[in-house]
Structure 1
Amino acid sequence: MRKKQRTAKKDSASRQRSPVTPHQSPDTRQPSAVTRHPQWPPAVLLMGPTASGKTAVATAIAGKLPCEIVSVDSAQIYRHMNVGTAKPGTELLERVPHHLVDIVEPHESYSAARFRDDALIAMREITERGNVPLLVGGTMLYFQALTEGLNELPEADAAIRLVIDTMADESGWPALHGELARVDPETAARLKPNDAQRIQRALEVYYLTNTPMSELLRKPKCVYYPYSAIKIALVPGERERLHERIGRRFEDMLELGLITELRKLRNQYALEPTMPSMRCVGYRQVWQYLDGEFGLAALREKGVAATRQLAKRQLTWLRATKDVEAFDCLAEDVADQVLDYLQRALEKLSAVA
């Protein structure tokens, strides 16, 4: 990730580079975080942690440039899950074209591989209309799947997952971690004994293929991504201020009816807490609250803590992402900064096309 961190030293050679520190000075930077190919159309990737203001910046971009938004969010794919996913409102969805929002039911599964296929179809259609795909979100696995490809792994199997969940109910996830260590010790070694989601997936892959997931992951990826990517990250100049945003955001969700929303979903669908939709941050904690595991005060505390952990993981992933231009999401003029940079980046791509 490309960005600069100014120090008190006057010697420019002493300036340090940090993979998560955005520019603090007025923007005169040149558009360098672009993966170019003269025959490929442009695509903009707007990434950032939760509560970084991605929707506001994306809306500003779409208001000035011929863009259509492709959501890169593993929670906003679900219908009827609006409050807890901070889904764009009806007015915005009608005013600015959005793709991959409200595409599956809460009880259905959805994979990174399916996202990649769906996103590439949407991007091709957007490009054919003469517009620029603007991919916006914080699900870093989806971004990686899109730009770097995926290993060939089987799709989720509801029947197999039900068997695994039943085994977990009877014996506990640490026991299943032991089973995974027997059939796939390499994968088990990097997972914690209570990492239910990843243990389930690793066992599911083994039961479906009779091959350890670690072995399948070593096979070459199939990569097809015919776009010149302009990668932009919204990151906080001050982590504590992002934490304050997260706290206010979760409180707003509660006031907007997150508890009522989940209560209705549980009445409408045959949901289980182990389903991917119900593992989404916020919904998982409200589920536990509705089950009587703790009270409202603990719900607030646990919901905010889980969201902070999500933001931490997202920022960790961004550190490892190459060729990304970072902007301080807390700056009042961040949308103007991003728009100015993006306009110059697109002009530069047009000049070499």
Structure 2
Amino acid sequence: MKLQPEIDAVIEGPCSLFIKEGKVIISGIQLSSGDQLDITEYNYFTITSINNTEIETDCRLVTTYRSLGWHRIVEEIVGGKILVIGDENSGKTYLSNSLVNLLGGSLIDSDVGQSSLFLPTFISYTEDNSKKLTLVSRTVKGLEFFGNISPSFNPRLHIALILLALKKLSHNKNIIIDSDGWVKGFQAYKHKIELIYSVDPDYIIVFNERLASDFPRDLLRKMKIVRPFPLSTDRDRVKRRKYRSQKYKEYFGKAKVSTLSVNQLLGVPISKNLIRVWDQTLQLVEEKPCSGLYIDRSDLLGLLLALTYKGEVVGAAMVKDIKEENNQIDILTPVENYDGAIMGEISLNEDFTEKRVRIKRCCE
């Protein structure tokens, strides 16, 4: 395969490629004459040719097009806090991973709906700056628990957790923040503006020129506008949900049954289906009259949890059974050491499809 300068070629893995002549960049990894790269992932990757290049490869060539120039944008960045903003399927996660490969440093994955580093509903971060083709292959350094799959359910909590992760990574020279894909509508705009002013990034990479034009003028000096990935990855709502289910399935496939006390998660059990919490009663059956709080028992089964140890989030669990008479909750988790739990607002069924659940007041 021969590539001319400033041409991007989209290939599909798994496959291998050998650079016979020239220089290319793939996911922020620079390859020159004599270099070989083995791609094990079933995914699309973009090869950017820096000069006249000849490649030996068994990769399937999907298409070629005039370079998006992402590598030139990166060359203009000298380091600091870099916030990447873009729509779903724009290529922001691919570019974020490329930035780690090219600049080093750490990365915060704040896309709670289509998480790469860890599970959906979590904000995760990594200090693994080794050369990796994908973000998902990097080692997780730490976690924060949001508990839902869209920042729209609690925009300020989402930002607060990003700031908490930033504080823990403050010793890093470079910090890349891969934001969520919620960019449409006024509330999404407000969230992004508040995120920008809270993070105070040195650079803002935006995949949407219209969105960038709506931002306050004082942000323009920090802004780098890039063209989005031109091919449709065809990840619609159904496929995004399937992606999340697969992430849960892989994680809990390594899990074992463990236990929590009812007190650690819900409160003091009074009797079956009745728990004392926050100086009120929590009812687990839909019977009237109802006073205090209510959540259906079936919604608690499969409830996604964050497990904590010494004040830090260390992993995830899901509720398997509730045994009030023994003050015991059976959970499924691969985590061995934990001393507490945080409830999410997502419950998983047997095939790891999610539904939203919440504790309600009886009058609702």
TM-score range, shorter chain: 0.3 to 0.5
Q: Indicate the structure with greater strand content.
A: 2
Greater gyration radius: 2
Q: Structure 1 length as normaliser, TM-score?
A: 0.33
Q: Structure 2 length as normaliser, TM-score?
A: 0.32
Q: Indicate the structure with greater helix content.
A: 1
